[in-house]
């Protein structure tokens, strides 16, 4: 199917892009186009204007800023996956990026674009939730920061306003005793394709005891979501296999698990427990 007619804008600067959005409330931002274009072809999205930020300089870097990493709006999935900085300090995000789509998607699509798209079965959305990341949004009115926990609203819906661009992703760097991981079951089996169920985990262990933990799920509900009960159950434990198994039993607690073509509520609840256990084990390792 072909998309409906639309106007195309390719601004040369971020200011020009923000002005284009401010002047066209029905516009959509495109970075890599790996999510937007297919949705337009299916006519699920029919923007009057597409603002392509792909030619804007200065948005394609991954920077170490002391206590956090900054990932620009045009950083490709493959760059996030292969970055030594991300691999060292935000392993869950590197792994999630490496499992996003196929090679063509990973070489063209962007990490910030996938996060802004907010697909219910995306990989990197769960990773940024578990890592406690912050989204930096800009508009002609200024800049605001949005915590990952507040960013994902519903299926294909995030907290960005129509005139805002997600220009940067800020990810806290793992310190001593901290680890993170991501794992999933893909729709074609293994770790390929969108997640039927996926889990990201971040854990901090001090003096032999887990004193902080965040776990996020993707694929099982209408959006990526924190599984708060898992972290609550794990904190204070020794992080052993027994403690992980007990905490993982709470994976679906407080989570609205939905049935779809890929599994029943019971099946997805089971998968959530399995993949939370695997993610926690990897993070603590």
Q: Which segments of the chain have a pLDDT < 70?
A: none
pLDDT in tens, 228-276: 999 999 999 999 999 999 999 999 999 999 999 999 999 999 999 999 9
pTM of the predicted model as reported, rounded to 2 decimal places: 0.96
Sequence-ordered list of residues with C-beta below 8 angstroms from that of 84, at least 6 positions apart, any chain: none
Per the structure block, which two tokens stand in for 97?
């990026």
Task: List pLDDT tens digits, range 10-24.
Answer: 999 999 999 999 999
SS3 sequence of 194-225: CEEEEEEEEEEEECCEEEEEEEEEECCCCCCE
Neighbours of 51 (CB within 10 A): 23
Residue 242 CA to residue 227 CA, distance in Å, equals: 19
**Cα–Cα distance between 279 and 267 in angstroms, integer?**
18
Residue 132 DSSP SS3? coil
Question: Domains, the chain, ranges and CATH?
Answer: 7-51 (3.30.43), 62-172 (3.30.465.10), 196-284 (3.30.390.50)
For 139-171, b where at least 16 C-beta lie within 10 A, e where not — what string?
beeeeeebebbebbeeebebbbeebbbbbbbbb
């Amino acid at each position: 199917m072909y998309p409906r007619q639309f106007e195309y804008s390719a601004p040369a600067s971020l200011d020009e892009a923000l002005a284009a959005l401010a002047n066209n409330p029905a516009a959509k931002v495109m970075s890599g186009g790996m999510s937007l274009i297919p949705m337009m072809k299916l006519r699920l999205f029919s923007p009057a204007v597409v603002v392509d930020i792909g030619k804007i300089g200065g948005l394609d870097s991954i920077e170490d800023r002391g206590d956090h990493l900054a990932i620009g709006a045009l950083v490709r999935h493959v760059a996030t996956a292969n970055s030594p900085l991300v691999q060292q300090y935000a392993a869950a995000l590197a792994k999630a990026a490496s499992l996003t789509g196929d090679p063509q998607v990973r070489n063209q699509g962007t990490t910030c674009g996938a996060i802004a798209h907010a697909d219910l079965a995306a990989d990197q959305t769960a990773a940024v939730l578990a890592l406690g990341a912050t989204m930096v949004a800009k508009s002609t009115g200024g800049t605001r920061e949005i915590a990952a926990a507040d960013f994902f609203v519903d299926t294909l819906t995030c907290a960005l306003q129509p005139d805002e661009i997600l220009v940067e992703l800020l990810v806290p760097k793992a310190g001593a005793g901290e680890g993170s991981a991501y794992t999933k079951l893909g729709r074609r089996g293994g770790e390929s394709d969108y997640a039927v169920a996926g889990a990201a985990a971040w854990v901090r262990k001090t003096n032999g005891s887990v004193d902080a933990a965040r776990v996020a799920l993707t694929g099982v509900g209408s959006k990526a979501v924190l599984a708060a009960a898992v972290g609550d159950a794990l904190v204070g434990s020794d992080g052993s296999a027994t403690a992980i198994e007990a905490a993982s039993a709470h994976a679906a607690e407080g989570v609205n698990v939905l049935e779809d073509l890929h599994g029943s509520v019971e099946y997805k609840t089971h998968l959530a427990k399995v993949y939370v256990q695997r993610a926690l084990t990897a993070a603590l390792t």
